[in-house]
Amino acid sequence: DTGVSQDPRHKITKRGQNVTFRCDPISEHNRLYWYRQTLGQGPEFLTYFQNEAQLEKSRLLSDRFSAERPKGSFSTLEIQRTEQGDSAMYLCASSLRRDVNTGELFFGEGSRLTVL
């Protein structure tokens, strides 16, 4: 399968713990995005990479959140000192930068985080 893959699919943690999610994009895609989605809402932009460069971060992204994409391949999203408000589905998506079609994002199945 050559789609976007995310790991783990589900994570339950206690408040204050750190968690890390991994995303493997479609191999030829150079843009990688992280979104967060809560029940009844659309996905909310967190950050994106073009190759290994992190080009934009949402102002909503607190200092407890950090993302990396070493060597422009897979990406990780780490949340430090988790809070109950961090409970959400974390979605990774990738796209190929070419003209207007760049907005065609392909999503992974998501990583659902529950903070107790």
DSSP structural state of residue 1: -
Q: 72 in the Ramachandran plot: left (φ > 0), alpha (ψ -120 to 50) or beta?
A: left
Q: Tell whether residue 25 is a contact of another protein (CB under 8 A).
A: no
Nearest distance from C-beta of residue 104 to another protein, angstroms: 6
Nearest distance from C-beta of residue 66 to another protein, angstroms: 18
d(CA 77, CA 34) in angstroms, rounded, equals 8
Q: Tell whether residue 70 is a contact of another protein (CB under 8 A).
A: no
Point out which residues bind another protein (CB under 8 A).
33, 40-45, 48, 55-56, 91, 100-110
